[in-house]
């Protein structure tokens, strides 16, 4: 499905955006969609970089986060710092209360460690359903995904059609950034960063499903570390439709 933008279809937009920097991609999103586009932030350093870039070039974009109920306290600390520094409202989306209650009463508090399907069940309740609500009515969403992050993200494009959420546009302005570039940007702009990064957590999710990684280990090795690498996604980013080359 082709998404129509003010300047044509997503396919021509994808061609245009491949040659643009992250700031220009955000400015384009702001011009095209304004407040009907939103940055999805889990408050790792990439997301804070996106919010910082947007504060300069794309001020109408909204910021939302999925508060799963299992986030580390360090994530709330950086969320609050970001909220104050940029003077923005961070839209939190919680899981459905009844579903979490049922899950915990029937399966306990660590069912996600028993098998991939049970981990996916927890992610579906705590992340996927709230994400669907967050994106309901949105024209586009923006993430801090980078190709370099893991084997599951090698195919990330700057612009994709998100078939799982009604064919809306998904933009990944940092798609081609390296980890070194992200940190250079963070230092240059003195960004507030999640304290867990300095303790060996390059990728930060829910507290019980994230650990520090050893030097040289894959960036996402600390996420669901008991699973094999090809399973290490929570479903938020697993069903994209890349805009085809040359269209
Ligand atoms: S990351 Fe872990 S705790 Fe968080 S939603 Fe997924 S399985 Fe549940």
Average confidence score pLDDT of the chain: 89
R_g over Cα of the chain: 17
pTM of the model: 0.88
Do residues 68 and 104 lie in contact, with contact meaning Cβ atoms separated by under 8 Å?
Answer: no
Least confident of 3-7, 15-19, 63-67, 75-79: 3-7
Catalytic residue among 122, 123, 206, 234: 234
Rounded distance from Cα 246 to ligand 1 centre (Å): 38
d(CA 158, CA 16) in angstroms, rounded, equals: 10
Q: Is the minimum distance from the CB of 126 to ligand 1 under 6 angstroms?
A: yes
pLDDT above 60 (res 5): yes
Please report the atom of ligand 1 found closest to the CA of residue 234.
6
pLDDT in tens, 80-125: 999 999 999 999 999 999 999 999 999 999 999 999 999 999 999 9
Beta strand pairing call for 8-9 and 4-5: antiparallel
Predicted pLDDT at 152? 66
> Domain-by-domain residue ranges, the chain?
4-234
Predicted pLDDT at 12? 73
pLDDT in tens, 169-212: 999 999 999 999 999 999 999 999 999 999 999 889 999 999 99
pLDDT above 90 (res 155): no
- For 13, the token pair is 């937009």
- For 122, the token pair is 């927890």
d(CA 11, CA 244) in angstroms, rounded, equals: 7
Distances (CA, A) of 188 to 56, 114, 185: 15, 42, 5
- For 162, the token pair is 């998100």
- For 84, the token pair is 């104050």
Annotation marks residue 206 as catalytic: no
Q: Is the minimum distance from the CB of 205 to ligand 1 under 6 angstroms?
A: yes
Q: Is the minimum distance from the CB of 68 to ligand 1 under 6 angstroms?
A: yes
Predicted pLDDT at 66? 98
Q: Is the minimum distance from the CB of 20 to ligand 1 under 6 angstroms?
A: no
Please state the separation of Cα 172 from the chain's center in Å: 9
4-234: which CATH topology?
Answer: Rossmann fold (3.40.50)
């Amino acid at each position: 499905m082709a998404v129509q933008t003010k300047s044509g279809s997503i396919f021509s937009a994808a061609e245009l955006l491949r040659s643009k920097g992250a700031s220009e991609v955000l400015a384009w999103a702001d011009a095209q969609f304004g407040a009907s586009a939103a940055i999805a932030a889990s408050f790792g350093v990439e997301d804070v970089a996106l919010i910082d870039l947007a504060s300069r070039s794309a001020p109408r974009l909204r910021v939302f986060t999925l508060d799963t109920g299992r986030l580390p306290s360090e994530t709330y600390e950086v969320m609050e710092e970001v909220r104050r520094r940029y003077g923005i409202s961070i839209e939190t989306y919680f899981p459905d209360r009844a579903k979490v209650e049922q899950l915990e009463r029937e399966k306990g508090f660590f069912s996600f460690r028993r098998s991939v399907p049970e981990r996916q069940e927890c992610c579906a309740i705590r992340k996927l359903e709230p994400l669907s609500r967050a994106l309901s009515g949105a024209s586009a969403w923006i993430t801090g995904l980078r190709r370099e992050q893991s084997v599951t993200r090698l195919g990330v494009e700057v612009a994709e059609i998100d078939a799982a959420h009604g064919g809306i546009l998904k933009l990944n302005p940092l798609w081609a950034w390296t980890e070194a570039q992200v940190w250079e940007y963070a230092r240059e702009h003195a960004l507030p960063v999640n304290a867990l990064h300095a303790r060996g957590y390059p990728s930060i999710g829910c507290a019980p499903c994230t650990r520090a990684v050893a030097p040289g280990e894959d960036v996402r090795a600390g996420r669901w570390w008991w699973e094999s690498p090809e399973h290490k996604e929570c479903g938020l980013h697993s069903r994209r439709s890349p805009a085809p080359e040359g269209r």
